[in-house]
Structure 1
Amino acid sequence: MSSLDAFQEKMAASGLPPLLSRRHAASPFLAEVVTRDLGPLRLAGLVTPEGECFRDARSAREADGELWQIDLVTRGRVRAEQGGGTAVLGPSDLILVDPIRPVRFDSSATASVTMLVPRRLLRLRPGDADRLAGVRVRGDRGPGALVAALVGDMARSLSGFSAEEADRSAAAVIELVAVALSAQLGDPRPASDEALRARIVGFIEARLPDRNLGPAAVAAAHHMSLRRLHRLFEDQPLTVAALIRRRRLERCRAELAGSARTVAAVAARWGFADPAHFSRLFKATYGYSPAALTSNKRARAVKASPGRPRDDGG
């Protein structure tokens, strides 16, 4: 597009955190933004001319506080400032940006990918987030290189995924991003039990559709024994298995109340292989069957729709 105003309108419609333009060298203004979703992730490919943009405290949106923003430079150079630090990024470099804090970008003509990740899935301790925001993550080596290659390819082609495939692929990307950020910290101290539990809960949330998700898989993914995992949750309201089951039921109930999918389809989507077992578990948890939930929804829809007139015009 050849208009700064048109580009800003498209940026606003894309759901990306807002940025204000300060200057741009190109005339006419040539830029583009293309957004794609992969499960809970939103990816935006951007092409922008040389210039400067920023976000101040007044333009930040409260809703963006639920997200982390990860930017990948694929072409050009970017100077980013946030949290009192400055990062100079080249091709394949990444940066974690807090979308509700002031930030400034000064760049050459650039192509980049912005990835928005729900904070509940990429669980960072507050102190770690402060250390990471606005810091260059090298994309030419280590886990940063894997993230850069994967996200760059994903932004170009995100078609043909089923809902389950999209969720599982997004979970893999989020885990790889977490590894790259942890490597950037270079902190040899073991995580506290609270931080480790938070990361495990995030891992579980991102993988609920996976039928193989269970305590053994969770323990293996976090390089610990089953005994250590169970001890980690022994003073919590739910065991690991019960937490997985409860979160899956919550997702199923929300989807059954808001979609037209069948009980069996929703159960399968969230990791329940046996619809009959799912129905018994659902009723034991909520006091009514999942079929009753879908029946009530259909009844409300029929009641809300206008009735057909009788032959006598009544």
Structure 2
Amino acid sequence: MIGNLESFQDELASSGFPPLVNKLAGVGFRGRATTRDLGPLRLVSLDTPESACIGRERDACGGENLAVKVMARGRTRIEQGRGDAELGPTDLVLLDPTRALRFESTAAAHVTILVPRRELRIRPAQIDRLIGVRIDGSHGPGALVSVLARESARWATEFREAEALRSAAAVVELIAVALEARLGDDQPAPDERLRSRIAGYIEARLADPDLSPPSIAAAHNMSVRRLHKLFEDQPLTVAALIRHRRLERCRAELTESGRTVTAVAARWGFSDPTHFSKLFKATYGYNARALVTSNRAQMTKTRTAGPEEDGGDQGRH
């Protein structure tokens, strides 16, 4: 438990939260903050006293994440964008850390998931409509997100790296489903159905080195120009979507297999190892080869420790 507001705010800042001014914080302030990572997601569990906070607008250049706040205990009212959400236990809300924010809360416990924008494939216009809007966490997709957020925050450290990546992908997908359901998009427009079909086509053919906007357009009886227009208001272009999904497949395979970087890159359509290595590091901030080395070291350590942990004969070779 942190008994100093300044230390608590430093802890929040190190977890990726924007600075907030708490009008009710006094000498007796006590709060708790626990941060855990799950693949590309960051889960921050907070216990906070009664609060009335203001957050100012920040430079959008630092806004690579969106935040999904899930209430576990207490009540809060949040105003951001056009939204004004009254949240109780299990409810959730989507927030943009770069935008101005105002909220009032009873003593509360909540989990916030910081999600990279690139992972959440929802159009910017839809995000604008969802910011600051209450999502019911008592039933439907919202309930699944609510439960997963709270349980993932408790058990994230138990996941191996490959499990964390796959679990994070499932959490992100459920968040997207809950957000789309809140928009009332049960009957998607024709363009959205077509985009979804094309995304499925891409996913099924990521290993094909010839997968490209022209080949995708031809397979769907449309011009390349029409294909690009279909994705012009999406977070990723067609080419960027292919590249992103291939990199995700590569990262997952490098984490859980003993194959070389060159072999994995070639399997997922990257014919130039040097280009792949540069792209991988630019995307994730670390070297693909280092990931392989770390995985092999972990596998070696596990094999070495296995007999002792199982109570086997340590003198047997």
Common fold: TM-score over 0.5: yes
Hey, what's the Cα distance between the residues in 1 that align with 2:217 and 2:29?
57
Tell me the equivalent position of 1:109. 107
1:13 aligns with 2:11: no
How many angstroms does 1:202 deviate by? 11
Tell me the equivalent position of 1:52. 52
Hey, what's the Cα distance between the residues in 2 that align with 1:46 and 1:193?
40
Q: Indicate the RMSD between aligned Cα atoms, in angstroms.
A: 4.2
**CA deviation map 1:5-27 (0-9, x unaligned):** 11111111222232222223x65
Tell me the equivalent position of 2:231. none
Shift in alpha-carbon separation, 1:233–1:112, aligned structure 2, 3 A: farther
* Residues 165-314 of structure 1 mapped to structure 2, 5 A cutoff: 165-191=163-189, 193=191, 197=195, 214-215=204-205, 230-231=219-220, 235=224, 248=246, 268-269=254-255, 277-278=263-264, 284-286=271-273
What residue ranges of structure 1 are gaps of 5+ in the alignment? 205-212, 217-226, 256-265, 298-314
Hey, what's the Cα distance between the residues in 1 that align with 2:145 and 2:260?
36
| C-alpha contact (below 8 Å) 1:123/1:199 kept by paired residues | no
Q: Which moved more, 1:111-120 or 1:124-133?
A: 124-133
Give the letter aligned to residue 272 of structure 2.
Answer: T
| C-alpha contact (below 8 Å) 2:67/2:115 kept by paired residues | yes
Tell me the equivalent position of 1:122. 120
How many aligned residue pairs are there? Answer: 260
**CA deviation map 1:255-297 (0-9, x unaligned):** 8xxxxxxxxxx9643889687754766884357998xxx9x99
- Please state whether the residue corresponding to 1:168 is helix, strand or coil: helix
**CA deviation map 1:29-73 (0-9, x unaligned):** 11011100000000000011001112112xx24344211110001
| C-alpha contact (below 8 Å) 2:72/2:89 kept by paired residues | yes
Hey, what's the Cα distance between the residues in 2 that align with 1:7 and 1:203?
47
Shift in alpha-carbon separation, 1:125–1:249, aligned structure 2, 3 A: closer
* Residues 32-111 of structure 1 mapped to structure 2, 5 A cutoff: 32-57=32-57, 60-111=58-109
Structure 1 length-normalised TM? 0.68
Shift in alpha-carbon separation, 1:185–1:267, aligned structure 2, 3 A: closer
How many angstroms does 1:172 deviate by? 0.2
Give the letter aligned to residue 51 of structure 2.
Answer: G
Tell me the equivalent position of 2:280. none
Tell me the equivalent position of 1:207. none
Shift in alpha-carbon separation, 1:275–1:40, aligned structure 2, 3 A: closer
Hey, what's the Cα distance between the residues in 1 that align with 2:85 and 2:222?
39
- Please state whether the residue corresponding to 2:122 is helix, strand or coil: coil
How many angstroms does 1:111 deviate by? 0.4
Hey, what's the Cα distance between the residues in 2 that align with 1:153 and 1:91?
15
Hey, what's the Cα distance between the residues in 2 that align with 1:108 and 1:289?
50
Hey, what's the Cα distance between the residues in 1 that align with 2:140 and 2:78?
22
